[in-house]
Amino acid sequence: MNDHTDLDLSFNWLPFTPNRDFRREPKILARAKGMYYYDPAGRPIIDGSSGLFAVAAGHGREEITRAVGNQLDELDFAPSFYRGNPPAFRAARKLAGILPDGLDRVFLVNSGSEAVDTAIKIALLYHRIRGEAQRTLFVSRERAYHGVNLGGLGLSGILNNRRHFASQLPNVPLLRHTWLAENRFSRGLPKHGAELADDLLRIIILRKPPALPG
């Protein structure tokens, strides 16, 4: 396929995209190699964001392609319910060796969105098991992005992401964002915004329940 003229664009609904506008003027990435994407005409496009932060090693790395192909030949998929497979345990051990001391249990998931929702569930269940089921408040930050699942959208600080789905995690207070225009081009510790470092404490004080009498 040398161009996109024979593509039917009506079936695939792109996320975070005005799809009507896209269909009028489609932007198609036909292939990739190294640090470049290529459009259907063969023009290179620098991939400045590693895909979407997913291909930091570059596109089309032959050693990665071989490793993936070998794994597909040996074991392409295995369920993780009451079952395990050697590569998963090896990957978990390597990750534990990289992480700080004490972070030595790995729960493998498919995406950042799934990781955020899993972390939300672990936090809620942890406090419930400890007998503190009332601890359900999450604190997020303005402009924060935590994925596209309902839990992550509830923590999102991006207005358009919160507009329709934030109620899934109600009453999430947002720390003020630390980006300040007056700090642009600052070297070292900026002159403005030191009070933002205490924003979490401010929210804790505001949300702290009153002491019981006696």
**Every domain of the chain and the residues it spans:** 1-76, 112-179+193-207
**Tokens found for residue 128:** 């419930």
Indicate the average pLDDT of the chain: 90
Alpha helices in the chain (DSSP H): 19-24, 50-53, 62-74, 86-98, 112-129, 150-155, 159-162, 199-207
- Cα(211)–Cα(214) distance, integer angstroms: 9
> Which of 35-49, 104-118, 195-209 is least confident?
195-209
Q: Which residue has the tokens 């794994």?
A: 71
pTM for the model:
0.81
- Cα(134)–Cα(131) distance, integer angstroms: 9
CATH of span 1-76: 3.90.1150.10
Instruction: For residue 4, give the 3-state DSSP assignment.
Output: coil
> Which of 59-73, 116-130, 152-166 is least confident?
152-166
- For 152, phi and psi rounded to 5 degrees? -65, -35
